[in-house]
Amino acid sequence: LTINPQAEKMQVDSTPASTTSTSSFTDKTPKVESLEIQRSAIFSSYLLNAILILDRKHLDSLDTQNLVSAYIKVVAEISVKILQLPKSTLKLSVVHHQRTDAEESSDDDEDEEEQIRRTQKSNNDLDAGPPSLSSEEQNVLLECVNLLNDSHRVRMLTEQTDTYLADEKVLYALCEICHNLMIYNKQAVFEYKLLYTLAFMPNVVRAIWFTLTTQSSQLGFNAPLSLISKGVVPKQNGVEQTIPLLATFCMLFGRLLPTLHDAEFCDEKLLLAKSLQSSLVAATHIRLMPFSIAEIIQLSKTLKEISLGLVDLAFPETRSNLNEHYRFVLGRSETDDKKMWQQKQVWANLLKVVVFVLNQIHTRDLRLGFCPESHWTVSRLDLPLDRPTDLPLTRGNRTRGIRPFQPIRDFTREDFENGPPMSTKQIRSITILREIPFVVPFNKRVGIL
């Protein structure tokens, strides 16, 4: 199965250039939308399913770096289709994977789907949601998720990591596959074989992190990680190149950390283990912990700054739902709505996984004390700590409906009876005190909590 990438290029190059700026502006949107439609038609869910089915007999022949790299890139390019699956199919995927009797399970699927649909309808969510799919295409994508985690395919990808870890583009493509699975299923690292296998490969976890740091050192202040730490959204290409790497790293490292004993966490000596790739009983030197203590200190500092920047991005000063009111005035298309919905899920998930792994490192430091003094606290935080009553930390009516990277819903008369709406500063402060309270000095934090 081959795809000719020149098809789209020929159509673009064959279009005559516009002679005036006005005509160029008016023709740009139809051309872009036409290319997106053609691209969506080529890289479809059915193509992904066909590749994952037809390649099973030839996975063992992917024994060179070029073949493995090309294979991972192609699958990553089409795996974005998984994001179109509604969350209601998560339970269906389990039934789909464990199906023994088609007729009996069909009735159970309908009951579960109807119950989930009613629950989602009552949530009054402000999101547009993923694009609707036919039941046939949903089943195709569910099969793709299972095929991506097939034991034979996972073994091929994990046994040949040494051939492509040095290639930044291939590593990004692998992280994109993992990231798409993670956005679809929050428990992906526990349920999908590809993810939890990669989580216990220290060389993969280490390679992802140092790919991010190398990118940041090359770009300097304009690096996506630096911009996120300052509460600034990077350009779209920076977002697409950075978030899959960062989210996948936090997810994999966060899965590995709880399994490490304190002695394994701190021991920088090389441990002996049997090589799985050799038929002979040979011993190779590997480490269970991907980083040294010095590297963990710098890593946690970077993640701490990123988490604070994500809190600022999660609750901007302006109300994001104003775009919804002016949708038709601004001429926003349905494609833009789908991208916005997916980006909200991506950013919210990023905040969650960064905070998750950061809390694990902090908990480990409380026991072992490997970080220097004042490593976790941040002095530049502008929190209203002088008036603790301004921060309603209890999950009452005032904090209801406030979620990161989601538009704040309009307040009703009932809400105003419970008090005035909280400011952005209050919401950010409450989020910090709930998610990463250790960045606030204890003597100040205890007065509020």
The secondary structure of residue 152, as a DSSP letter, is H
Q: How far is CA 159 from the centre of its chain?
A: 24
Burial label for 68, CB within 10 Å (0-12, 13-18, 19+), is: buried
Burial 221-248 (b: 16+ CB within 10 A, else e): eebbbbbbbeeeebeeebbebbbbbbbb
pLDDT tens digit string along 85-124? 988 888 755 544 444 334 434 444 444 444 444 434 433 4
| 427 in Cβ contact with 402 (< 8 Å) | yes
CA dist 412 and 281 (Å) reads 70
CA dist 431 and 411 (Å) reads 20
Beta bridge partners, 272, equal: 285
Count of CB atoms situated within 10 Å of the CB of 76 = 21
Q: Which of 434 and 6 is assigned the larger pLDDT? A: 434
- Average pLDDT, integer, range 293-306: 95
pTM: 0.76
CA dist 248 and 292 (Å) reads 20
pLDDT tens digit string along 12-54? 444 444 444 444 434 445 554 555 555 556 668 899 999 999 8
CA dist 210 and 389 (Å) reads 43
Judged by average pLDDT, the poorest of 132-146, 186-200, 276-290, 361-375 is: 276-290
pLDDT tens digit string along 263-299? 889 876 544 333 344 433 334 446 789 999 999 999 9
Q: Alpha helices, DSSP H only, in 98-134?
A: 102-121
The secondary structure of residue 100, as a DSSP letter, is S
Q: Identify which of 159, 248, 237, 239 has the alpha carbon closest to the alpha carbon of residue 206.
A: 248
- State the pLDDT at residue 321: 46
Q: Which helix (H) or strand (E) holds 274?
A: strand 271-274
pLDDT tens digit string along 412-429? 666 666 666 777 888 888
| 283 in Cβ contact with 273 (< 8 Å) | yes
CA dist 446 and 449 (Å) reads 5
Binning the chain into helix, strand and coil, the percentages to the nearest 5 are: 65, 0, 30
Would you kindly state where each structural domain of the chain is located, as residue ranges?
36-96+131-199
Question: How long, in residues, is the chain?
Answer: 449
Amino acid at position 387, single letter:
R
